[in-house]
Amino acid sequence: MRETRSCLVTSKSAPPIIGVPGTGWVIALAVVWVMFGLTGHDPWKPDEAHTFGVVVDYLEHGDWVVPTLAGEPFVEKPPLIYLVAGAFVRLFQGTLPAHDAARLASGFFVGLSLLFLGLTAREIYGPGFASATVLLLVGCLGTTTRLHQLIPDVALLAGMAVGMFGLASARRTFWGAGVALGLGAACAFFGKGLLGPGLLAVTALLLPVFPAWRTRRYAAILGLAAGIALIPAVLWMYALHARSPTLFHEWLVINNFGRFLDFVQIGPGRNPTGFYVYTLLWYAFPALPLAAYAVWVAWRRPESATDRQGLHLPAVLAVVVATVLGVAPDSRELYLLPLTLPLSLMAARGLIGLPVGGSRTLMAGARWGLGVLALLLWLGWLALVTGTPAWLQWMLLDYQPGFEPSVHWLHLAIAVALTLTAGWVLAAGRSSAGHALTQWVCGMTLCWGLVTSLWLPYLDAGKSYRMMIESIVRQLPVDGCVASHNLGEGQRGLLVYFADLTTVRLELAPEAQCQTLLVQGWRNTGAPAPSEGWVPIWEGARPGDRAEFYRLYRRGVAPDHAIAKFPE
């Protein structure tokens, strides 16, 4: 106990980071950043569309054991994100559209992640580091879009953050650490399955290589956390197995072990060699270079024992996450989200003693990188709504042919206010590391705010399926079933939401006698019917979509029947 207490006191002797705004300002900035983009647009493909489709089914059937999509079991992930999103839909019913209310669940989980990330920084480094760590996660280039989507990964991130706080506080307290670690593992499990608890468990078992975690109390904390995490997880797994052993096998063996061990082909597949290396260079900027600097300083200077102790937990977690990602068969930039937590923690330590050149580089990136990007966003939007210059408006409308330019005055007011505020921060001439980080995050918030205010209607016109589905519905018979072939998960879910239409999948019911058939294909190959006797009556795709293509068929229609097209 004496040794552990000494480590704690030493690790908290780090000087504060000069220039980082106070807690109140950081909370306000984080709230603004989190809220931008959560509302005001339809569910977008690919991940958000099928996630919301499951939420729609949950709201209709209320089944917390077996998630369903368009009436079919969908046990790819446990149900936490669907339950929380459904709760927000009910809470804001009549106030917000269902898809906007559901997306508030992402804001809830992201807020939880930022809170416990800051608490972890305070625990291992001391006061003054929580704000910087939160700003570093918010400022990562690759996280912004993903942390504003309705996807299970935000629940995984929250669970990892809570569990990480439990591991950090295990050197100081028993009950708080055990409960936090257990609840974090449970949240990660119900968010995305075995991955999150596995990452936390491996990290927890490796930490005793350091004296601060090599105690009997720490072993007892792990036992307490395991009990807290296992009880709800086992209850849900038992309920799923009791409902259907086949579905339980699909969830556990295929969607968890099968994905990782690569004996089933259901994921996106492996990207080229080195995908995560070069993706991480921009995805985790500026946290990654600052974390590398912190490690370099801690191991280069013999007197930096304090630095090394503070980096033990985030370094071990980062190595564990990176190793698992490196050996996994599937590769997506989305999977890097958990890695940004320990990188942000290490990066906060790297701000201490950062050379003036590093601070000035980050400040220049904020002003001449993000600042110029914000200016281009303004100029592009002005060209879009005014028609000057005409060639730029033509180019933008050609890329998004379904968009009709107009000025949304509330969006414009928000954009102006955000630009003035961020411009005032970016104009400050101070060159400390904290000020440079603050300017970077303000620049990121400005650009994201402009995208989700000025440009949101333009983006939604091309990413939403609403208009296309409404065009399809106008060609459907008043009654009778509609079959589908090769229709994606997100599209099936959105057909239920926008048109209250559940198709009969020919992949599962090839003998279905529906007289109408919807086929999804590609522009370069078309969307051919799976058999003869079908006559096309409609074809099209989302405006501006250069890949997907859809065709609607009917039986018993004259072969020379006119084909409706969308967009016309």
The proportion of the chain whose per-residue pLDDT surpasses 70, expressed as a percent, equals 94
φ, ψ dihedrals at 565, nearest 5°: -130, 150
Contact 314, 343 (CB under 8 A): yes
State residue 390's pLDDT score: 95
Q: What span, in angstroms and rounded, lies between the C-alpha atoms of 55 and 368?
A: 42
State residue 352's pLDDT score: 87
Q: What is the mean pLDDT of the chain?
A: 91
Please say if the pLDDT value at position 14 is more than 70.
no
Residue 387, phi-psi category: left (phi > 0), alpha (psi -120 to 50), beta (remainder): left
State residue 4's pLDDT score: 40
- DSSP-assigned beta bridge partners for residue 566: 540
Average of per-residue pLDDT across 105-115 = 98
- DSSP-assigned beta bridge partners for residue 552: 518, 538
Please say if the pLDDT value at position 159 is more than 90.
yes
Q: What span, in angstroms and rounded, lies between the C-alpha atoms of 321 and 315?
A: 10
- Give the CB-side neighbour count of residue 283, counting CA atoms within 13 A: 20
Q: How far is CA 169 from the centre of its chain?
A: 27
Residue 220, phi-psi category: left (phi > 0), alpha (psi -120 to 50), beta (remainder): alpha
The closest of 508, 482, 496, 512 to 70, measured between CA atoms, is 496
Please say if the pLDDT value at position 324 is more than 90.
yes
Q: What span, in angstroms and rounded, lies between the C-alpha atoms of 143 and 280?
A: 11
Please say if the pLDDT value at position 2 is more than 70.
no
State residue 328's pLDDT score: 85
- DSSP-assigned beta bridge partners for residue 519: 485, 551
Q: What span, in angstroms and rounded, lies between the C-alpha atoms of 329 and 334?
A: 14
Tell me the pLDDT tens digit for each residue of 515-527. 999 999 999 889 9
Tell me the pLDDT tens digit for each residue of 453-466. 999 999 999 889 99
> How far apart, in Å, are the Cα atoms of 416 and each of 27, 41, 446?
21, 21, 10
Least confident of 251-265, 317-331, 359-373, 495-509: 251-265
- DSSP-assigned beta bridge partners for residue 69: 72
> How far apart, in Å, are the Cα atoms of 567 and each of 396, 469, 564?
17, 11, 9
Per DSSP, 329 falls in state S
The proportion of the chain whose per-residue pLDDT surpasses 90, expressed as a percent, equals 77
Contact 133, 91 (CB under 8 A): no
State residue 12's pLDDT score: 44
- DSSP-assigned beta bridge partners for residue 539: 551, 565
Confidence at 171, pLDDT banded by 50, 70, 90: very high
Contact 448, 37 (CB under 8 A): yes
Average of per-residue pLDDT across 45-65 = 92
State residue 268's pLDDT score: 61
Tell me the pLDDT tens digit for each residue of 118-153. 999 999 998 889 999 999 999 999 999 999 999 999
Contact 124, 207 (CB under 8 A): no
State residue 15's pLDDT score: 58
Q: What span, in angstroms and rounded, lies between the C-alpha atoms of 333 and 313?
A: 24
Please say if the pLDDT value at position 258 is more than 90.
no
Cβ burial 110-122 (10 Å sphere, 16+ → b, else e) = bbbbbbbbbbbbb
Residue 453, phi-psi category: left (phi > 0), alpha (psi -120 to 50), beta (remainder): alpha
Q: What span, in angstroms and rounded, lies between the C-alpha atoms of 392 and 358?
A: 37
The answer, as to whether pTM is greater than 0.85, is yes
Tell me the pLDDT tens digit for each residue of 215-252. 999 999 999 999 999 999 999 999 999 999 999 999 99
Contact 1, 174 (CB under 8 A): no
Please say if the pLDDT value at position 353 is more than 70.
yes
Cβ burial 196-229 (10 Å sphere, 16+ → b, else e) = bbbbbbbbbeebeeeebbebebbeebbebbbebb
Tell me the pLDDT tens digit for each residue of 177-228. 999 999 999 999 999 999 999 999 999 999 999 999 999 999 999 999 999 9
Tell me the pLDDT tens digit for each residue of 56-81. 999 999 999 999 999 999 999 999 99
Q: What span, in angstroms and rounded, lies between the C-alpha atoms of 249 and 12?
A: 47
